[in-house]
A and B are shown apart, each in its own frame.
Chain A
Amino acid sequence: MANSPNLNQIIDLCLRGDQKAQEQLFHTYSGIMFSICRRYTNNIHEAEDMLQEGFIRVFGYLKTYENSGSFNGWIKKIFINTALRSISKKSITHEINGYEHLPDEAVEPEIISRLSEEQLLELISELPEGYKAVFNLYALEGYSHKEIADMLGMQESTSRSQLVKARRMLQEKLLNLQKIAV
């Protein structure tokens, strides 16, 4: 997808060190990128640190961006990589037992639609590190299990099993919310 001429102009100015353009780029993308950071972290403070780190990387690597691809995709990838770097430094608990018994598709779509985006982000962020990473990468970013396994340094089968567990844990949380609401 081609970038708008305005965006290309902002990128050019950023490359020349124009602070106003950098600020404009930040305000354009900070909200969406912050929601990504929220999904990969446990709390807002961590997410803010990640956003800060991600934007420093974006401005640092901006000269490597080639206009051939979508800037949205490029910046998103930087933030995902930043998140994964952060996760890899923490000890990821790969296995938590006890969620396999929940049936799939147990959550009605209405439950999700009734939730606010912030509530949903909060629920995702409460998942254990490993589950959260795999669920985000697979369900929300669209990576394959092979790619996730390469990125996180795990077996493909581990990625699959973690996805299942992440789903079920999230479904359980949603069901609990529904129960409380009722």
Chain B
Amino acid sequence: MNKFDKNIKDKLKGYSSPVNKDLWGKISANLPIQEQSTFKHWWLAMFSIAIVAVGFAWYLSWNHNIIQSNILKEDQKTADLYEFDSPTTEESGGVKNDTDLELSASSKTTIEQKAAASNMLQKLDLSNSNRTKTDVTNKSKLINKKVSLTTNADVFNTNLNVIGNYNSLDDQREIFDLKTTEKNVASLYEQYNTIVNKAKNLEFLKNNDQERLDLEEIDVLTYEIPQLNDDTNFEELLQSMSGKRLICPSFSNARFGVFIEGYYSNEISMRELSYNGPISEVDYLNVRNQTENSNYSYSAGMRLSFLLPMGFGAKTGVNYSQINETFKYVDPNSNRTQTVIIKEYIWENGVVTDSSEMTKQVSIPGSLNVVSQNKYKILDIPLLFTYEWGYKKRMYYSVTAGPMFNLKFAQKGKFLNPETLTPVDFTTNTGDYKAFNTNIGTSIYLGFALNYQLGHGTDIFVEPNLRHYLNKTTLNSYLLNQKYTTIGIGFGVKHKI
């Protein structure tokens, strides 16, 4: 730079030319309206769902433990709860006080009790059809003692009045109507013991005080018997009641076999662009990064899972992934060509004597917004290995990893032509902007899942996952290397077949 240049530079340094005040209006009218990023909202929603799902699963697991601990506590109280007041001499008017009947429910833990109860109830005609409310007050004095039955202080606290309190019996029936879960296994068995004890006591009274007790009138005892049918696994129930740990009979940890699973994964893609040779003059890589942005992507598929007893297994199936990107390009120097017809008239004395017509192509300068939703479609066959562990009630973890082999890669959309830097459609993948492979080889999948057993062989799972494509999606002849890594959150269901 010589002195002349410097003088001019100094003169113009920091100079601010006055600007037409209307210019901002024109500029603001041409600015694109700021779009709300639906993409970010999608991910927020997905993460929220995942957090809720994990929270719900944790809650179920936690609730399960609370119920178990309550049952264990109640188990220790059983003896106190089931003290049945045997008729005293005073109350029974001469009935023998010493009875060889055992009235503690806790000691009645054999299957014979079931049979004894059945027989006894048959004798006493304690059937559902006979349930009527009768006035047995006078004769019930002998056995008008309350059996306080409290199976779970948090859930219910019911006083079972053997003779007169009909409503209490209804309450009990409601309890029996509850699903047979570990929560009411305890109450079920307690009810059974209560009936057995009462029946034995009644037999005792029948044998010793026939005049004071008309068994035919003690219909009030005829309430519904819990479903103690032949299928009821009493041994299991008793084990549950007596052991330190409750073994829930409905859910099994023996998870081997073949499962079919379906999933949908919400993903975000991370693109890696690098030069496949020397850097171009116009920095084409930078141009592409500026004009293309990652968008919401997804994967979906079906897998067959072959699970071995030790928790190891393999999975295969079909996976479809779609990586989405948005291409936006504003060409400020775009020209719109219009055809103009120019007619010329020759006038002579106010009359048109001749005319000529001329067609002209005119170019109108302006800007052109080019927007394209680019899609990269990937069809794969996964060959994954899995390991399941940490069974805790209905919850367990699993890790799945392995290669996914590409069957087909296809693309749809636009990018800037590396030669002309103008938007071109690369869907057909032809011409001087031929860029993409039709098969992109192998990718590596890694997923960590939190699973929840719904029962009946069906599980649901949430699987955060990472997938790295080992090979580039582009041809060797193309200026750039284009590779992907995706992270996502998958939601799925699997069923044992």
Assess whether B243 is interfacial by the CB under 8 Å rule.
Answer: no
Assess whether B4 is interfacial by the CB under 8 Å rule.
Answer: yes
Across the two chains, which residue of chain A brings its CB closest to B328? A60
B12 touches A120 (CB 8 A): yes
Known: A56-B27, A107-B4, A120-B8. 20 other contacts (CB 8 A): A16-B34, A23-B28, A27-B24, A32-B16, A34-B17, A38-B17, A52-B27, A53-B332, A56-B330, A82-B332, A85-B333, A105-B3, A109-B7, A117-B15, A118-B17, A120-B12, A121-B15, A124-B8, A140-B12, A150-B281
Contact indicator per residue, chain B 16-27, by CB within 8 Å of chain A (1) or not (0): 111110011011
| Chain A min CB distance to B366 (Å) | 10
Q: Chain A residues with Cβ under 8 A from B18's Cβ?
A: 31, 34
Assess whether B90 is interfacial by the CB under 8 Å rule.
Answer: no
B330 touches A57 (CB 8 A): yes
Docked CA distance A16–B12 (Å) = 34
B19 touches A56 (CB 8 A): no
Docked CA distance A61–B18 (Å) = 25
Assess whether A35 is interfacial by the CB under 8 Å rule.
Answer: yes
Assess whether A100 is interfacial by the CB under 8 Å rule.
Answer: no
B333 touches A35 (CB 8 A): no
A35 touches B30 (CB 8 A): no
Docked CA distance A150–B429 (Å) = 30
In A13-68, the 8 Å CB interface with B consists of: 16-17, 19, 22-23, 26-27, 30-32, 34-35, 38-39, 48, 51-53, 55-57, 59-61, 64
Please name 10 pairs of A and B residues whose Cβ atoms are closer than 8 Å in the assembled complex, sorted by A.
A17-B34, A30-B24, A56-B27, A56-B330, A56-B367, A112-B8, A115-B11, A117-B12, A138-B5, A167-B2
B34 touches A104 (CB 8 A): no
Docked CA distance A22–B23 (Å) = 13
Q: Name A residues whose Cβ lies closer than 8 Å to a Cβ of B.
A: 16-17, 19, 22-23, 26-27, 30-32, 34-35, 38-39, 48, 51-53, 55-57, 59-61, 64, 82, 85-86, 89, 104-105, 107, 109, 112-113, 115, 117-118, 120-121, 124, 138-140, 142, 150, 167, 170-171
Task: Describe A's contact surface by its main secondary structure.
Answer: helix
A31 touches B19 (CB 8 A): yes
In B1-52, the 8 Å CB interface with A consists of: 1-5, 7-9, 11-12, 14-20, 23-24, 26-28, 30-34
Most buried by A among B1, B19, B28, B31: B19
Assess whether B69 is interfacial by the CB under 8 Å rule.
Answer: no
Supposing A89-B333, A140-B9 touch, asked if A56 and B16 sit within 8 A by C-beta, the answer is: no
Contact indicator per residue, chain B 439-451, by CB within 8 Å of chain A (1) or not (0): 0000000000000
| Chain B min CB distance to A12 (Å) | 13
Across the two chains, which residue of chain A brings its CB closest to B34? A17
Which 8 A-B residue pairs are closest in the complex by CB-CB distance?
A17-B34, A31-B16, A139-B5, A34-B17, A35-B17, A117-B15, A30-B19, A53-B332
Supposing A16-B34, A35-B17 touch, asked if A52 and B26 sit within 8 A by C-beta, the answer is: yes
Docked CA distance A124–B12 (Å) = 11
Contact indicator per residue, chain B 174-185, by CB within 8 Å of chain A (1) or not (0): 000000000000
Q: Chain B residues with Cβ under 8 A from A139's Cβ?
A: 1, 5, 8-9
Docked CA distance A92–B18 (Å) = 28
B333 touches A138 (CB 8 A): no
Docked CA distance A26–B29 (Å) = 14
Assess whether B290 is interfacial by the CB under 8 Å rule.
Answer: yes
